[in-house]
Amino acid sequence: MAQSARPPVPPSGQQPLTPGQRDLDFEQNRLQRAQQQRQIDRALAQPPGSRLPAPEAPLAPAEPDLTLPGHTVTLEGVDLDFGPEPVRFDAEAVAQAYLHRPIDNQGLFNLVRLLTARLYELGYVTSNIALLEPAVQHGRLQLQVNWGRIKGWRIDGKPLERLRDRAMVGWAMPNWRGAILNIRDMDQAIEDMNNGFKQVVVTIAPAEEYGYSYLDLRVERTSWARFSVGADNSGLGTPERGRDKYNVSLALGDVLGVNDTLNLFASERYFSDPVHDGEQAFDLSYRIPLGYTRIDLQAGYSNYKNLLRARGLAYQSAGNSRNLSVRVTRTVYRDATSQFSLYGALKTRQNKNYLAGTKLEVSSKHYSDGTLGAQWSTQRGRHAMFVDLSWNRGLGINNGQYSAFNPERAIGYGSRVNGIASWQARFAPGGQALVVQSQLGFQYARRMLLNSYQLTLGDEYTVRGFSRTTSQSADKGVYWSNTLSLPISASWLGRVRLTPFAGWDMGRLQSLQGGPALRLAGWALGLRVNTPLWNVSATYARPLWSPLPKKPLWYINTSLVF
């Protein structure tokens, strides 16, 4: 079926796009946002680490009764020997309340307990602190850390025998042999092993040798693979014009036995005239963790064809896009409530567009870019927070072309800063669960950007009430999305979970070519139904502010999981 002209959008000065190429850009952006939203939801729902019960803190030091027999000492400082390990904390700062005053044997005992509690808080749950001989030299208390170390791993109390089991723990915690046992290293290993296809629980058991412990695994395999089929209505207005998209995905766990995951995804949009109109996408992603480091590899291919009509003439347009990316993420800090990571990524892609069989050189080019970013997540009681801040810049690798423009031509490699902050709170008024989520996202740039690098608003992840035909893009902008959900899980529902929700969003876009800012806003009402094998989401949304006519629409997503 012929592709009609799009509603007018502000001039951009960048390379002209065929309608099909713009649709590919929109779908790729939507897929990336869906993946990012799943990552945000996981970070907000899963605790970053084990919560350690606080050891019983000693009472504040009391003045000793000097009328009773017994030895007292006045300490001028504390020397804590960490052995060959780096200093973990300032012992003297922790012990200030016990210095420069007479304390008895009970006071010394309480001081050692206080320092041991600090070691425990840092995750060294099998280490302790002991007095040296002599205990006091020149008025300074002499202490040393007795480090608790890892003797080995076991599964259900038995030594590891299979190569796959040894690879599983070796990649989750490299260099564990004889390493100091820290609960945060265990948390990271558990996160690596819990890759969605198995559930791992680790307990600490004392070894035969003093100061050593075994890490005992209990592994529950949920599946080796998951297959799903799904559909959504993310296209144009009618089924004949490509409204409905169908997809299949296959996920495999522990392909190499090192807690890795492989995901394959394919989608195709339905058109009534498949000879002249079509849209397909294929994506492959592979993730492999190695301790505190995670490597993500991705490859994608998409293509389109559209029959364009203008002034009584018809032109066949077609094109495709290929992309490759690699991302390395390093967790640099984690505790029971927070996690902080740094990441870097490289991406390259090639676009090809044709009109009436002729290649459009102006929009058929290679583009490459690099990204540096940081992520932080935390949970405090009923509140959870996720923040991602990144800097992206175009690169010349793989013949990457300029991606920054003035109104006439390309002038250099584009650069942009992106950020997203998501806050979630859970309440239970009257016993009914209530979840509030608010998300703020932005993009900042100082030069006009290639179309695919612009910020696009107008989908179910940013400002609801808009579709691919009414969404808007610009070089910089900001959006604010808010959702109130009421999850319902009752015995009469069995394993079915119902979640009605309501939302209100707004956004602002600014083109660096000039002109007024674009303002968008919309509201939404919807219902999500989740079961072990079937999921569906239906959202009715309507624009409040829009540069185009305000028309309501539905977002429908459904999937079957096997």
Residue 277 lies in a domain: no
Residue 382 lies in a domain: yes
Of 529, 527, 530, the closest CA to residue 541 belongs to 527
Domain encompassing residue 201: 149-221
One domain, residues 39 and 95: no
One domain, residues 395 and 342: yes
Residue 19 lies in a domain: yes
One domain, residues 87 and 216: no
Q: How far apart are CA 274 and CA 1, in angstroms?
A: 8
Q: Three-class SS string for 114-137?
A: HHHHHHHHCCCCCCEEEEEEEEEE
One domain, residues 36 and 181: no
**Number of domains forming the structure of the chain:** 3
Which of 177, 194, 221 is the last residue in one of the domains?
221
Q: Which residues, listed in sequence order, are joined to residue 299 by a DSSP beta bridge?
A: 284, 324
One domain, residues 326 and 442: yes
One domain, residues 393 and 516: yes
Buried b (16+ CB within 10 A) or exposed e, 287-321: bbbbbbebebebebebbbbbbbeeeeeebebbbbb
One domain, residues 426 and 509: yes
Which of 221, 241, 259 is the last residue in one of the domains?
221
One domain, residues 354 and 404: yes
One domain, residues 166 and 139: no
Show the tokens assigned to 468.
Answer: 């691919």
One domain, residues 364 and 487: yes
Of 304, 260, 313, the closest CA to residue 279 belongs to 304
The CATH number covering residue 160 comes to: 3.10.20.310
How much is the pTM? 0.89
Interhelix angle 163-172/183-193, rounded to 10 degrees, is: 120
Of 235, 225, 247, 314, the closest CA to residue 272 belongs to 235
Residues 6+ apart with CB under 8 A from 477: 442, 443, 455, 457, 507, 508, 509, 510
Residue 55 lies in a domain: no
Strands (DSSP E) contained in 34-156 are 73-74, 77-81, 102-103, 128-137, 140-146, 149-155
One domain, residues 411 and 470: yes
Which of 221, 256, 277 is the last residue in one of the domains?
221
The CATH number covering residue 486 comes to: 2.40.160.50
Local confidence pLDDT in tens for the 562 residues of the chain: 444 434 334 344 455 667 788 888 888 888 899 889 989 998 888 777 776 665 555 555 555 444 445 678 899 999 999 999 999 999 999 999 999 999 888 889 999 999 999 999 999 999 999 999 998 999 999 999 999 999 999 999 999 999 999 999 999 999 999 999 999 999 999 999 999 899 999 999 999 999 999 999 999 999 999 999 999 999 877 888 889 999 999 999 999 999 999 999 999 999 999 999 999 999 999 999 999 999 999 999 999 999 988 777 888 999 999 999 999 999 999 998 999 999 999 999 999 999 989 999 888 999 999 999 999 999 998 999 999 999 999 999 999 999 999 888 889 999 999 999 999 999 999 888 999 999 999 999 999 999 899 999 999 999 999 998 899 999 999 999 999 999 998 777 778 999 999 999 999 999 998 889 999 999 999 999 999 899 999 999 999 999 888 899 999 999 999 8
